[in-house]
Amino acid sequence: MIPQPFDYYAPATLREALAMIASGEHKILAGGMSLVPLMKLRLALPEHVVDLGRIPELNYIAESGGVLRIGAMSTHHDIESSAAVRAHCPLLAEAAGHIGDAQVRNMGTIGGSIAHADPSADYPAALLALETKIRIVSANSDRTIDAAEFFVDAFTTALEPGEIVLELQAPVEDQGEGYCYEKVPHPASGFAVVGVAVRVKKAGGKIAMARIGITGMGPRPFRDSMAEKMLESGTEIGQATQSIGQGEEANSDLYASGDYRRHLARVHAARALRTALTRAS
């Protein structure tokens, strides 16, 4: 299982990298956790590969002005173990800790993961629940979009040729918020058969705010606004989660049918909400 030959470039600066990829004919190598296996199986056959691994300016995690900024080349391990992420967006740290295995988390990056947009990836659920913004740059553009706009379909994002993910911007979670990421991993691949990320705020014994992001169930991750609204208007968890995924397409594979995935999304959303409530103050 040998990749086909390719030209390799390892730019040292973002500017250099963006100039290189401007033509849109280059494949971008971040952590390589998805790309390298695809190349080995010869399912991906890039002729030009640009490695972002030597650009220090893409690797940072910092909080300022109520926003947590995460450079695209931050690894899952960086995010899982970062004091800033744990303090300001613990939901994201929890989701990062569920990705793959230790080796994958040491190499894989958040930018690479979301740009690949595997429908069974863990991050998207958390990013949607956190109402994250994604900053995208190219040699001659710089735009910031909502995570909800970023994920278009399975393996399809809002990235245009020549663009890369520069950073993720997550609003800092309020003190006293509860959060939880619940995941049903595929027993072989470890990917999410279903992953549910939730945030809740309590006020006067009721749910004042709920955010629910779901991955794995269908071709693209989604936020379930209807369930959120029901929870916020006092519907109890069991009932509010009954309609999760309604109207959303669900994936079927050898391991789990679409119906089962939808059911799991509901069950685990309820469980995640209950856990989140116990963590909320």
Partner 1 sequence: MKRTISLTINGKTYTDEVEPRLLLIHYLREVAGLTGPHIGCETSICGACTVLVGGKTVKSCTMFAVQADGRELTTIEGVAAADGKLDPVQEAFWNEHGLQCGFCTPGMVLSVKHLLAANPNPTDQEIRHGLDGNLCRCTGYQHIVNAVKAAAAGKGGV
Partner 2 sequence: MATTVSKPDLLVGKSIRRREDPRLLTGTAIYLDDIKMPGMHHACIVRSPHGAARIKSINTKPALDRPGVAAVFTGADIASLGAVPCAASLPGLRVPHHHLLAQDRVYYQGHPVAVVVATDRYLAADAADAVEVEYEPLPAVTDPEKAIAAGAPAVHPEWADNIAFTFHQEGGDTAQAFRDAEVIVKQRITSQRLIPVALETRGVVADWRPGEKSLTLFSSTQIPHLMRSLVAGILGMPENLLRVITPEVGGGFGSKLNVYAEEALMAFIAKRINKPVKWVESRRENFQATIHGRGHVDYFELAAKRDGTMLGLKLKLIADLGAYHQLLTPAIPTLSVLMMPGLYRFKNVTADIVGVFTNCVPTDAYRGAGRPEATHGIERMVDMLARELNMDPVELRLKNFVGNDEFPFPTATGLSYDSGNYAAPLKQALAQAGYPELRTEQAQARKEGRLMGIGIATYGEICALGPSAALPAGGWESATVKIEPSGKVTVMTGASPHGQGEETTFAQMAADALGVGIDDVLVVHGDTAVVQYGIGTFGSRGTAVGGAALFYALEELKAKVRKFGAMMLDTDSVTLSGGACVDEKTGKSISFAEVAAAAYHAKKLPPNTEPGLVSTHFWEPPNFTFPFGAHLVVTEVDRETGNIEIKRYIAVDDCGKIINPLLVAGQVHGGVAQGLGQALWEQAVYDDTGQLLTGELTDYAIPKAHFMPWIESSHTCTPSPVNPMGVKGVGEAGTIGCSPAVVNSVVDALAPLGVRHIDMPLTPEKIWKMIAQGGQA
29 binds, among partner 1, partner 2, none (CB under 5 to 8 A by kind): partner 1
One residue of 188, 204, 234, 247 binding partner 1 per CB under 8 A: 188
Measured from the CB atom, is 79 or 270 closer to partner 2? 270
Q: Does 43 bind partner 2 (CB under 8 A)?
A: no
Q: Does 8 bind partner 2 (CB under 8 A)?
A: no
Nearest CA to 216 among 154, 147, 131? 154
Measured from the CB atom, is 27 or 135 closer to partner 1? 27
144 binds, among partner 2, partner 1, none (CB under 5 to 8 A by kind): none
Measured from the CB atom, is 39 or 165 closer to partner 1? 39
51 binds, among partner 2, partner 1, none (CB under 5 to 8 A by kind): partner 1
8 binds, among partner 1, partner 2, none (CB under 5 to 8 A by kind): partner 1
Q: How many residues bind partner 1 (CB under 8 A)?
A: 31
Q: Does 260 bind partner 2 (CB under 8 A)?
A: yes
Q: How far is the CB of 191 from partner 2 (least distance, A)?
A: 8
Block residue for tokens 């998805």: 34
Nearest CA to 55 among 10, 107, 12, 108? 12
Q: Does 53 bind partner 1 (CB under 8 A)?
A: yes
Sort strands 178-185 and 192-203 into parallel, antiparallel or unpaired.
Answer: antiparallel
Residues that bind partner 1 (CB under 8 A): 1-8, 10, 29, 32-33, 36-37, 39-41, 49, 51, 53, 77, 100-104, 106-107, 188-190
Binding site for partner 2 (CB under 8 A): 1-2, 4-5, 41-42, 184, 186-189, 254-257, 260, 263-264, 267
